[in-house]
C-alpha cells in the first residue's frame, strides 16, 4: 500500500482546477439530460416560474425562495444570482433541466459543479414532470465520468 503524505495530497488538490467537472457536466447535459425532456419551449413566464417554484419546494433547505426568470437576458447561459434565475432564450431547448441546474446552485449556495452539486441536481431532475428516477440520473452521470456525492 502506498501512503501519500497529507502535504502532498494538499498540493495535488491545489493543482486540480476548482470547478474541474464543469465541462464534463455541460457535455452530459447537452447529450443526455436535455434530450430526455425534449425540445418543448415554455408557453409563458407562468409555466417557467411554476416549475422553478415546484423544484425549489422539493428541497427543504430552501425557505420559500422567490424565483424570477428573465428569458430576455442576452447572456449565453442560465445564471443565478441570489434568488434570481436568468434564463436566456438560448437554453429554452433544455429549459426544464436548466431550471433544475440553477435551483441546485441556489440550494448549494455555490457556483461549483462538484459532486455535492450533482447529487442535488440529479434529485431535482427526477422531480421534473415525466422524468426518470434519481437513480437513473446518478448512474448516467457516473457513466460519463462525473463524480456524484453519496
Ligand atoms: Zn452551473
Q: Residue 86: helix, strand or coil by DSSP?
A: strand
Ligand 1 mean position to 43 CA, how many Å? Answer: 24
Does this model's pTM top 0.85? Answer: no
Tens of pLDDT, residue by residue over 51-74, are 888 887 777 655 555 566 666 666
pLDDT value at position 89? 64
The CATH number of residue 110's host domain is: 3.30.2010
The rounded distance, in Å, linking the Cα atoms of 76 and 88 is 7
- Beta pairing class for 68-69 and 84-86: parallel
For residue 85, is it within any domain? yes
12 found inside a domain: no
Q: What is the pLDDT of residues 83-99, one digit of tens each?
A: 677 777 666 778 889 88
Residue 46: inside a domain, yes or no?
A: yes
The whole-number pLDDT of residue 140 equals 98
Task: Report yes or no on 3 lying in a domain.
Answer: no
Q: Which residue shows C-alpha cell 437576458?
A: 73
The length of the chain in residues reads 150
Ligand 1 center from residue 3 Cα (angstroms): 35
With respect to residue 8, please indicate whether it lies within any of the assigned structural domains: no
Instruction: Determine the Cα angle at 106 with ends 13 and 137, to 5°.
Output: 75
For residue 67, the enclosing domain spans 19-143
* Cα–Cα nearest to 58, from 133, 125, 147, 138: 125
pLDDT at residue 33 in the model: 95
- Indicate whether 148 belongs to any domain: no
- Give 102 Cα–ligand 1 centroid separation in angstroms: 6
- If one counts the domains in the chain, the total is 1
Q: Give the Å distance between the CA of 130 and the centre of ligand 1.
A: 22
Q: Is residue 112 situated within a structural domain?
A: yes
Q: Quick check: is 125 in a domain?
A: yes
Q: Are 106 and 62 in contact (CB under 8 A)?
A: yes
For the chain, list residues with pLDDT below 70: 1-4, 8-17, 60-78, 82-83, 89-91
Amino acid at each position: 500500500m502506498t501512503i501519500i503524505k497529507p502535504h502532498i495530497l494538499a498540493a495535488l488538490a491545489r493543482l486540480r482546477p476548482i470547478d474541474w467537472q464543469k465541462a464534463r457536466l455541460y457535455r452530459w447535459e447537452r447529450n443526455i439530460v436535455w434530450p430526455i425532456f425534449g425540445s418543448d419551449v415554455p408557453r409563458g413566464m407562468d409555466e417557467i416560474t411554476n416549475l422553478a417554484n415546484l423544484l425549489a419546494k422539493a428541497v427543504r433547505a430552501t425557505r420559500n425562495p422567490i424565483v424570477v426568470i428573465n428569458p430576455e437576458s442576452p447572456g449565453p447561459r442560465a445564471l443565478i444570482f441570489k434568488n434570481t434565475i436568468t434564463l436566456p432564450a438560448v437554453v429554452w431547448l433544455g429549459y426544464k433541466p436548466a431550471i433544475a441546474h440553477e435551483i441546485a446552485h441556489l440550494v448549494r449556495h455555490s457556483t461549483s459543479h462538484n459532486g455535492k452539486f450533482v447529487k442535488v441536481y440529479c434529485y431535482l431532475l427526477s422531480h421534473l414532470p415525466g422524468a426518470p428516477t434519481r437513480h437513473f440520473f446518478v448512474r448516467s452521470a457516473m457513466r460519463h465520468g462525473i463524480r456524484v456525492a453519496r
